[in-house]
Amino acid sequence: MNSFRAERRMGRVFGFEARVKTALVAFAIGVGASLYGGESLAATLTVGTCQGSSPYATIQEGVNAANAGDTVQVCPGTYEESVLIETNLTLIGIKSRPHGGPITLPTIIYPSSVDRLCLDGSSCPQIFVKNSSAVHIADLEVDGSNFKLDACNHDPIGILFQDSGGTVGGATSANHDSPCEEGYDQGVGIGVIYTQMGTFSVDISNNQISGFADAGIAAIGAVADDPGYTPINFTGAISNNSVTTTVQNPNDGTTGIDVDYSQAFTISGNTVSIPSSADGNTGYEGIYAADSQQMSMGQNSVTNYNTAIQTSELDSSGIYTNTTSNSYYGVQLDCSSNNTLALNKFVGLPGGASVAGISISVCNGQTAQPSDSSDDNNIIVNAIDGFCAGIVNVSQVDMGNTYTFDAFSNDSVDIMPTPAAPCF
């Protein structure tokens, strides 16, 4: 059985080294530092000429001119640039409907020159929000299809918040897949990373994310430093997003939504899918949650992922009313305790090739003991259909889990206390 840990994410999802610091490669995009005295009313600045003449031809120029609390609105069109935001502001696109057709958003593409924003020399976001507490981004499209840097050493990222809070809504992030000849395709649609202690909250809702290689949405809250990771325990929500990709990342896996080191975080109402390949292999995890507490995970739909929902060291959280289909595992609880799984529907692959609707295991490298509080969960009123085993306890001893009013159908075994053939 595969076991995934948040440390893998720190080194891979954003292309950072294991030691995540705040070191940044200098980015010369003409970002002017401006000092403002006193208080002023919030203003609206327009990029482009859709509402008359404007002194701002690029999004960066509008952002540079904005004071805290201002709104920068972007006219329809294509903007070849990378954008750095270090001020609390709202960045919003003006929607258009050319010739009465579909609604379109202003689109940001990577510049053709090397004048791009790259962190630690590797991760290259199109919109980078840094050290700000209230940045709101809405109704913009970020398209990474013309990313041309060395794929094995650079990650394309649509929108990245670092040590920042705020919201992303109504945005489209597409084509963040940078093929690498070594097989480690890279790219993240929307990312959040915390590298220093603080109180942060982020809300990513109602967005369309497609064409990513590593993760559609990834939010990681930990400072990496010896002897281990210091959790930030940020709060917020990822809700009502469409997260789809056609990318099959052969060596490092593809994850739809990834949240690590959070506190009271919500993942709800998302649609996460990846096409099944001809040999039956799928993306790694549809939703991955690790080292988090009091999380609410509900009403998500996950299709064609190897493991629809994967947890690692998730505590005191609820997994409710999710629907998963065409997965080898409906949910894997790895080293996770005091959680409640209720009213979920887990459906396996056609033909009974799936392993388990619910799989439970203790922490890596630990010996299971009946008195161990790890993996004591309440599993109640779930519908499990078409697996080799409906529920399997890989810990090989009863860890105190309760199974109540669960409904099994078309499973070879309903509840299997220990791994056995033909499931393992």
Please, are residues 219 and 243 in contact by the beta-carbon 8 Å criterion? no
**Type of residue found at 217:** I
Q: Specify the higher pLDDT residue, 22 or 41.
A: 41
**Type of residue found at 306:** N
For residue 96, give the DSSP letter: B
| pLDDT above 70 (res 75) | yes
pLDDT of residue 247: 65
Q: What is the pLDDT of residues 98-109, one digit of tens each?
A: 888 889 999 999
Euclidean distance between CA atoms 66 and 42, whole angstroms: 9
What global pTM score does this model have? Answer: 0.87
**Contacts (Cβ under 8 Å, ≥6 apart) of 179:** 151, 185, 213
| pLDDT above 70 (res 6) | no
Euclidean distance between CA atoms 305 and 218, whole angstroms: 16
Euclidean distance between CA atoms 114 and 128, whole angstroms: 16
Q: What is the pLDDT of residues 133-175, one digit of tens each?
A: 999 999 999 999 888 776 677 889 999 999 999 999 999 999 9
Buried b (16+ CB within 10 A) or exposed e, 99-118: eeeeeebbbbbbbeeeebbb
For the ranges 15-24, 35-44, 204-213, 291-300, the lowest mean pLDDT is seen at: 15-24
pLDDT of residue 147: 84
